[in-house]
């Protein structure tokens, strides 16, 4: 299931974040790659402990905590602190699958990567290439969103970033451990949640809303990993 989260940041906010990131010092992106990923990864990254990375990462988490679509789609239990990367001059990241479990630097905390996220900070027309290509049941799907928009997709997905041949692609990327491990179950819960919200708008007070809400929570109770 691929979910687009629109306007986590407004265009103006995304442009200001991009300006600050452009002025930062970047390092080789292989610092956070696993063995297999390092073979196909060519980009740059803001160091995990960089003050700007931590400041902007906290800002991203604050925004997402108030985003109903994100919370309903991800049902997050743990979120890996957001990282930031940059592609330009032909840099790319070949096909790979993200590590199943990632440790948070400086802590004993580990996050199972049920979901992956990419939050774009470059406008699509400012660079050529750089599409995030995700393989799913319908085949490869290319994603290139406006600055401030985010895509959420299963951590089990085979994916890549195409070479950037003009301009620079700057984004944040991170992972979530969901309360519900299985993507198919999360998809059903999201579909039901959206339907309940629409019923509340179109037929407020209808007895079926209470019944469906009960079914939603009983399914979540059955599937939740807490």
- Cite the annotated binding site by residue number: 96, 98, 159, 169
Burial of 42 (0-12, 13-18, 19+ CB in 10 A): middle
- Are 86 and 170 in contact by the 8 Å Cβ rule? The answer is yes
Binding-site positions for Fe cation read 96, 98, 159
Binding-site positions for 2-oxoglutarate read 169
Structure-block tokens of residue 128: 């050529």
**How many angstroms separate the CA atoms of 45 and 43, rounded?**
7
- Are 115 and 178 in contact by the 8 Å Cβ rule? The answer is yes
Strand partners, 169: 87
């Amino acid at each position: 299931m691929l979910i687009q989260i629109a306007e986590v940041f407004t265009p103006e906010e995304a442009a200001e974040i991009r300006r600050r990131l452009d002025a930062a010092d970047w390092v080789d992106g292989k610092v956070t790659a696993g063995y297999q990923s390092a073979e196909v990864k060519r980009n740059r990254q803001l160091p995990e402990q960089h003050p700007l990375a931590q400041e902007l990462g906290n800002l991203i988490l604050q925004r997402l905590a108030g985003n109903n679509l994100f919370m309903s789609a991800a049902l997050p239990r743990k979120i890996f602190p957001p990282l930031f990367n940059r592609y330009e001059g032909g840099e790319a990241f070949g096909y790979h699958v993200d590590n199943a479990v990632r440790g948070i630097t400086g802590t004993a905390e580990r996050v199972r990567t049920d979901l992956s996220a990419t939050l774009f900070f470059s406008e699509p027309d400012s660079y050529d290439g750089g599409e995030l290509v995700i393989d799913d049941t319908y085949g490869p799907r290319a994603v290139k969103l406006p600055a401030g928009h985010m895509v959420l997709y299963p951590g089990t997905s085979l994916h890549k970033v195409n070479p950037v041949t003009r301009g620079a692609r700057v984004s944040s990327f991170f992972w979530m451990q969901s309360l519900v491990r299985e993507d198919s179950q999360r998809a059903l819960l999201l579909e039901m949640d959206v339907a309940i919200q629409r019923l509340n708008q179109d037929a407020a007070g209808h007895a079926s809303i209470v019944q469906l809400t009960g079914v939603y929570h009983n399914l979540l109770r059955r599937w939740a990993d807490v």
